[in-house]
């Protein structure tokens, strides 16, 4: 089974939404997410994901150190989602596939979270021949 890690700084919105969407689109791939400075899953991210029938309410923000060593050591892809900030760097032989998106928390409105969610979903659907 392929292993894919979504990365951002806080692991609170973009990477959480990407993980939830990807798990729905690609059930035969193992997806996780992490951040360099984890905080908490943004309630707006949970709310806009519920709108598309994906429940991430049980997700929690985590750092790379919290991930299973087997998962980290066998990554196929690392997908950094940062646009305006510096994404964390992970020492890995995995293919790096940057997908930069604005941090919806910078605006902190449901509409911004919806916009970023939809952009993430569109990009992840485009990756079906890559992953």
The residues annotated as belonging to the active site are: 8, 82, 87
Residue 73 φ/ψ region, left for φ over 0, alpha for ψ in the -120 to 50 degree band, beta for the rest = alpha
Tokens 């939809």 identify what position?
A: 118
Instruction: Produce one character per residue of 57-79: b if its CB has 16 or more CB atoms within 10 Å, e if not.
Output: eebebeebeebeeeebeebbbbb
Enter the tokens of residue 35.
Answer: 């951040």
């Amino acid at each position: 089974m392929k292993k894919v890690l979504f990365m951002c700084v806080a692991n609170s919105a973009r990477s959480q939404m990407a993980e939830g969407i990807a798990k729905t689109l690609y059930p035969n791939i193992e997806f996780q997410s992490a951040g360099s400075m984890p905080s908490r899953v943004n309630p707006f991210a949970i709310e806009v994901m519920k709108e598309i029938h994906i429940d991430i309410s049980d997700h929690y923000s985590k750092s790379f150190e919290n991930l299973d060593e087997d998962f980290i050591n066998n990554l196929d892809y690392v997908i950094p989602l940062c646009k305006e900030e510096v994404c964390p760097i992970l020492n890995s032989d995995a293919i790096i596939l940057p997908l930069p998106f604005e941090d919806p928390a910078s605006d902190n409105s449901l509409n911004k979270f919806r916009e970023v969610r939809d952009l993430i979903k569109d990009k992840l659907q485009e990756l079906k021949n890559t992953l």
